[in-house]
Amino acid sequence: MRRSIIAANWKMHFDMERAVEVARQMVEKVKSDSEIIVCPSFVFLDRLSGIFLNSQIKLGAQNMCFKEEGAFTGEVSPIMIRGVGCEYVILGHSERRHIFGENDVDIHKKVVSAIEHELKPIVCVGETLSERNNGKAFDIVERQIVSALDGVDLDKVVVAYEPVWAIGTGVAADNKTITEMHKFIREMVGDVSILYGGSVKDTNAKELAEIEDVDGFLVGSASLDAGKFSKIAEEFDKVKGGK
Ligand code: 13P
């Protein structure tokens, strides 16, 4: 179902004390018509689940193992993250693909497993700069989507377009690039929420929200600051909140 979502990806930031502090600030500051999701590191999930309990903020993990349990040293299962209150899980983030070598097959297995365990995957797709420069951006995104969502009930997923070259640079992709790619993704996935990610800030959120097929954001750096994150949600809502 297509709806507005603003999600925070805290990546590998904070210690427990700071995570709790920012989570509390978020509960206080964020008032939004959109669905708000915070995805902290695994080790903070249980604690933050209690903090978000009576708020509008939902909890998500940043990754998971496709298996339920067993001899998988260092992995975290869907049952475990569901058990500590997660409703969402980010899958296929470009940092997982490019730093930790996850491929389309791995990501598809995780998407299927997440849905089986009643977790809603936020499936990340996006091309690198060299792929874009070589005219392959649409082919890459198509391949990532077709593979990740093969045989999957589209009602149960969220897609995030995150061009790798716009992540962590402070400069979001330009309006034309986002418009074209979101339209392209829309043709493939229909009524699924399509988020944009890559240097979303309080200062560019309104402009990005105005792009037709942008249903929300996946925010990295700016989500580490509760004030900036709540402003991003506010700016988005002014344009599209509650839709
Ligand atoms: P930044 O907002 O820091 O560019 O990160 C985007 C991202 O990777 C969110 O998943």
* pLDDT, tens only, 70-117: 999 999 999 999 999 999 999 999 999 999 999 999 999 999 999 999
- Cβ of 92 below 6 Å from ligand 1: no
pLDDT in tens, 127-152: 999 999 999 999 999 999 999 999 99
113 φ, ψ (degrees, to nearest 5):
-65, -40
Q: Which is the closest atom of ligand 1 to the Cα of 90?
A: 10
Return the pLDDT at 1.
81
CB 129 within 8 A of CB 173: no
Q: Where do the structural domains in the chain lie, given as residue ranges?
A: 5-240
| Dist. CA 105 → ligand 1 center (Å) | 23
Is residue 186 pLDDT above 90, yes or no? Answer: yes
Predicted TM-score (pTM) of this structure:
0.98
Question: How many other C-beta atoms lie within 10 A of the C-beta of residue 28?
Answer: 11
- Best residue among 9, 93, 161, 169 to mutate for probing ligand 1, ranked by most atoms within 8 Å of CB: 9
Over residues 206-215, mean pLDDT: 97
pLDDT band at 242 (very low <50, low <70, confident <90, very high): low
Q: Measured from the CA of 219, which atom of ligand 1 is nearest?
A: 2
What three-state secondary structure class fits 205? helix
Tokens of 71: 């001899």
> Does residue 241 surpass a pLDDT of 80?
no
CATH 3.20.20.70, applies to 5-240: yes
For the chain, percent of residues with pLDDT exceeding 70: 99
Residue 35: predicted pLDDT:
97
For residue 70, the CA-to-ligand 1 centroid distance in Å is 32
Asked if the model's pLDDT at residue 243 lies above 60, the reply is no
Ligand 1, atom 9, lies closest to the CA of 220
- Does the CB atom of residue 125 touch ligand 1 within 6 A? no
pLDDT at 22 over 90: yes
Comparing C-alpha atoms, which of 131, 113, 132, 133 is closest to residue 123? 113
- Look over the chain and give the mean of its residue pLDDT values, rounded to a whole number: 97
166-177: per-residue pLDDT in tens? 999 999 999 999
Q: Is 162 a catalytic residue?
A: yes
How far does the centroid of ligand 1 lie from the alpha carbon of residue 71, in Å? 32
Q: Phi-psi bin for 233: left (phi > 0), alpha (psi -120 to 50), beta?
A: alpha
28 is catalytic: no
List residues bridging with 125 in a β-sheet: 161
Three-state SS for 24? helix
**Whether the CB of 167 sits within 6 Å of ligand 1:** yes
Provide the pLDDT for residue 174. 97
Residue 191: CB partners within 8 Å, gap ≥ 6?
1, 2, 154
> Which one of the listed residues 35, 131, 162, 235 is annotated catalytic?
162
DSSP tag of 66: S
3-state secondary structure of 155: helix
172, 166 Cβ separation under 8 angstroms: yes
- The answer, yes or no, to whether any atom of ligand 1 lies below 6 A from the CB of 170, is no
pLDDT value, residue 194: 98
Q: Compute the Cα dihedral for 5, 26, 178, 235 and give only its sign.
A: positive
Residue nearest (by alpha carbon) to ligand 1 atom 7: 220
Distance CA 188, CA 194 (A): 11
CA angle 74, 14, 31 (to 5 degrees): 115
Q: CA 33 to CA 234: how far, in whole Å?
A: 9
